[in-house]
Amino acid sequence: MIVFFYDKTFEGLLTAVFDAYSRKVFPDKLLGEEDIPPLFMQESYTVITQEDRSARVWAALEKKMSKLACNMLSYAWLSEEEGSDELLFRYIRKTIDSKISIETNFADDDVLKLHQLAKRVAHEAQYLRQFVRFQKAADDIFFSPVSPRYNALPIAIEHFKDRFADQKWVIYDIKRRYGYYYDLHTMVEMTLDSDEHLLGGKLDENLMAEDEKMFQELWKGYFKSMTIKERINLKLQRQHMPKRFWKYLTEKQ
């Protein structure tokens, strides 16, 4: 078994592709630098991530693939699912080796799996666009904690920059401990020293703006008054509004 160790970044994965073709040796398994080597490993190689090599691989893929397919690669990487890096490696290798496009060759198991994985991540990004709820903090910054199943926040974040360009806001992924801050001009990635007070899905009341609690109660009242009890269908509601988002929705608290 041939094993490549790399730093578990997308650039590292692309560098691994470059090195595999340069060495004419292709891995049977990809592992992180700190992972334990498998028992039957015959040969190993440690990939040193290099921006120029990863850029060359990506440029080559952009020439052979449509923009949609390139996005699929990024989406599949953001899934963070176990084995997704090996799936991406096989897909990229097949793309490079093939004289024709493999994008719609769904008879190939890797093509089908990558397409399905990217689609699930895209759906998660759409859920973020739909179900993010902001809470106004005492410093007039609107704050929203989220914890999506996949790392879909980078895909959805431009929507909020365009939609809420007139206010300062933070959207923070509690599960992955990072987020984005927008200050009316620029958007930057950020982390919090401590996010324990966000695990319940809402800001502590002492951190809220004075009128935030009132607006939340008004919204709950409106939601309750518009509900027709005889038409409540929880099964359909969970289908269109996954339950994992409920704790972040003011109307469901």
Write out pLDDT tens, residues 33-82: 999 988 888 999 999 999 999 999 999 999 999 999 999 999 999 999 99
- Provide the pLDDT confidence category of residue 249 given band limits of 50, 70 and 90: confident
Q: Which of 77-81, 167-171, 248-252 bottoms out in mean pLDDT, i.e. has the lowest?
A: 248-252
- In the chain, where the domains are located: 2-124, 132-252
Whether 133 contacts 250, CB under 8 Å: yes
Residue with more model confidence, 206 or 154: 154
- Provide the pLDDT confidence category of residue 93 given band limits of 50, 70 and 90: very high
Say yes or no to pLDDT of 102 above 90.
yes
Say yes or no to pLDDT of 201 above 70.
no
d(CA 65, CA 96): 10
Nearest to 202, CA basis, from 125, 144, 159: 144
- CA of 114: how far to CAs of 11, 88, 101, 239, in Å? 18, 7, 15, 24
Nearest to 249, CA basis, from 156, 107, 147, 96: 147
Whether 61 contacts 21, CB under 8 Å: no
d(CA 246, CA 163): 22
Q: Collect all residues with Cβ–Cβ distance below 8 Å to 204 and sequence separation of at least 6.
A: 197
Q: Collect all residues with Cβ–Cβ distance below 8 Å to 190 and sequence separation of at least 6.
A: 170, 178, 179, 180, 181
Q: Which of 35-39, 83-87, 99-103 bottoms out in mean pLDDT, i.e. has the lowest?
A: 35-39
d(CA 93, CA 83): 16
Structure-block tokens of residue 216? 């939340």
Angle (nearest 5°) at CA 80 between 19 and 239: 150
The pLDDT of residue 197 = 62
Say yes or no to pLDDT of 90 above 70.
yes
Q: Which of 25-29, 86-90, 203-207 bottoms out in mean pLDDT, i.e. has the lowest?
A: 203-207
d(CA 155, CA 132): 14
Whether 247 contacts 253, CB under 8 Å: yes
Residue with more model confidence, 74 or 230: 74
d(CA 76, CA 95): 15
Say yes or no to pLDDT of 200 above 70.
no
Give the H/E segment covering residue 228.
Answer: none
- Provide the pLDDT confidence category of residue 195 given band limits of 50, 70 and 90: low
Structure-block tokens of residue 103? 């994008």
Structure-block tokens of residue 144? 């929203």
Q: Is the dihedral of CA 79, 80, 81, 87 positive or negative?
A: positive
Nearest to 112, CA basis, from 101, 122, 104: 104
Nearest to 61, CA basis, from 30, 21, 31, 26: 21
